Structure 1
Amino acid sequence: MIDKIAWLHFQDGRVLGARSRGKSVFYLPGGKREPGESDAETLIREIREELNVEIDPASMKPAGAFEARADGHASGLLVRTTCYLAEFSGTLAASSEIEEIAWLGYEDRDRVSTVGKIIFDHLRETGLLR
């Protein structure tokens, strides 16, 4: 099981997505937990590295956990993505391994990872993604 923490950030009914260098699919910003890290520590570190902004840990709110087959890995390997809403400070910018950031709507569902598709379905059902 791959354990990931992701940030859900919305603007005008779209969610922020990130695409790594050399990859074709988008994912929700965030990443894998390092040993001993809490969800908050993981999210703060990953978002700082990827988007060059600071997450406000006091504003973090759980938004669900989702599981699916991990893209690009041996069959049977699952990824569990735990999502959070949170406020931030700074200006969003692709950083580190991120080549592109984009505001994604439900029509972009085919451009995201397998677990991303499940998350997009949930976000549409709850009215957060148009």
Structure 2
Amino acid sequence: MEDLDVVAWIQVSDGRMLAVRSRGRDLLYLPGGKREPGEDDWSALSREVREELDLELDEATFRELGVVRAPAHDQPRHAHVRMACFTAAYRGAMAATGEVDEYRYVGRRERHLLAPAAQAALDLADRHGLLA
């Protein structure tokens, strides 16, 4: 089985990581998603964040934080998710749009609310000293 290959935005505020809940999902995920044909990481992530949260990412601050791999949740055709995680500053007022029903900031104590790949991203952010 091939990994589901996605990009994700790690946004931390007050030591807590941003997560979103897509329509019909039980767990929280990171903003981001699959690349469209021909898209690079920056193009895919900036498009996904615009579609999901109505924000514009700042390309000058776009940095890769790392790649995580974890069991896929709610993805019957994929056993694992390979998620390239990036940070970037943003402009705009955050709003749940598109397929996103809610967004919230989570800390270590809310880990159980996150899908496995988002849990791995939380650990990655923690290793980089981003969490409180």
Cα distance change on mapping 1:49 and 1:122 into 2, 3 Å: same
Contiguous gaps of at least 5 residues in structure 1 = none
Matched residue, 1:59: 61
- Give CA-to-partner distance per residue, 1:6-53, whole Å, 9 cap, x none: 111111000111001121100111111111100000011000000001
TM-score (norm 2): 0.92
SS at match of 1:40: helix
- The answer as to whether partners of 1:9 and 1:86 remain within 8 angstroms in 2 is yes
Aligned to 1:101: 103
Runs of at least 5 residues in structure 2 that lack an aligned partner in the other structure: none
Give the match for residue 121 of structure 1: 123
The code of the aligned residue for 1:14 comes to R
AA aligned opposite 2:17: V
Equivalent residues, number? 130
- TM-score if structure 1 supplies the norm length? 0.93
Pairing of 1:1-40 with structure 2 (within 5 A): 1-40=3-42
Contact in 1 for aligned 2:17/2:122 (Cα 8 Å) = no
3-state SS, counterpart of residue 67 of structure 2: strand
The amino acid of 1:8's aligned partner reads I
Alpha-carbon shift at residue 122 of structure 1 (Å): 2.6
Q: Distance in 1 between matches of 2:128 and 2:32?
A: 22
Instruction: Give me the whole-angstrom Cα distance separating, in 1, the residues matched to 2:77 and 2:34.
Output: 19
CA distance in 2 between counterparts of 1:23 and 1:74 reads 14
Q: Could you tell me the percent identity over the aligned residues? A: 39
